[in-house]
Amino acid sequence: MNYKIIDVKERLLADNDRIAAETRAALARRGVLLVNLMGSPGAGKTSTLLQLIRRLGGEFKIGVMEADVDSDVDARAVSEAGAAVIQLHTGGLCHMDAAMTAQGLEALEPEELDLVFLENVGNLVCPAEFDVGAGLRMMILSVPEGDDKPLKYPLMFTVSDLMLVNKMDAAAVFDFDPEAAAQRARALNPNIQIFPVSAKTGKGFDALADWLRQWLTEGRRRD
């Protein structure tokens, strides 16, 4: 029976990778950047989006896909911030896959947009396994989770292009060593870009917005 499950999983991942590659190519043709935003429950994904929409919403047309097991708490907050939002329910599934993402994108009409964020299901394990076709993978580690998380959930840190270290405003309350967290992440992924931020106070988000702005502008120049 083990053999059977693995068989299905391999088939599933191969299909997923094919759909993800198609999504990535279609978005590149249209000059749209899709960012897959991942992190544990409560790491600060939604408040990170609100900070970024505030800084980039004037220059770029932003869309957001809110993926949740079951609720629309975040979609309302993001919609009030002025982005185009679509809520996706995974129906109990612990991650988004490429087919669900493609469906969501279709409903968002991405040809009208410059930048689309997928807020993935709060989970440090499963979303790392599924390529959704994003141009950038951005993960959040929050200070209260601890600086040992790259040791325990290595795949997420390995596949991400950016790592935000959020809730830096609470660093004094927790035994969190930002240098240790950064070293552990870089040991898995030497190219990972690390941004210490506080989605509560906004600190650090100007630097992140600058980085994304540059990525978007250079991406367009290539087109």
Q: Identify which of residues 113 and 141 has a Cβ nearer to its own copies in the complex.
A: 141
Q: Identify which of residues 102 and 155 has a Cβ nearer to its own copies in the complex.
A: 155
Minimum gap (Å) between residue 19 Cβ and its own copies: 12
Minimum gap (Å) between residue 32 Cβ and its own copies: 27
CA distance 33 to 92: 27
Q: Identify which of residues 109 and 148 has a Cβ nearer to its own copies in the complex.
A: 148
Q: Which residues are near its own copies by CB under 8 A? A: 1, 4-5, 8, 11-12, 15, 40-42, 68-71, 73-74, 92, 94, 121-126, 129, 142-146, 148-149, 151-155, 167, 169-170, 173-174
Phi first, then psi, for residue 214 (nearest 5°) are -65, -45
CB 34 within 8 A of CB 137: no
Q: Identify which of residues 65 and 143 has a Cβ nearer to its own copies in the complex.
A: 143
Please, which residues bridge with residue 38 across strands? 139
Closest alpha carbon to 90 in 82, 80, 81, 99? 99
Q: Identify which of residues 23 and 120 has a Cβ nearer to its own copies in the complex.
A: 120
Phi first, then psi, for residue 110 (nearest 5°) are -65, -15
Minimum gap (Å) between residue 194 Cβ and its own copies: 18
Minimum gap (Å) between residue 57 Cβ and its own copies: 24
CB 64 within 8 A of CB 116: yes
CA distance 91 to 109: 23
CA distance 49 to 13: 28
Minimum gap (Å) between residue 209 Cβ and its own copies: 24
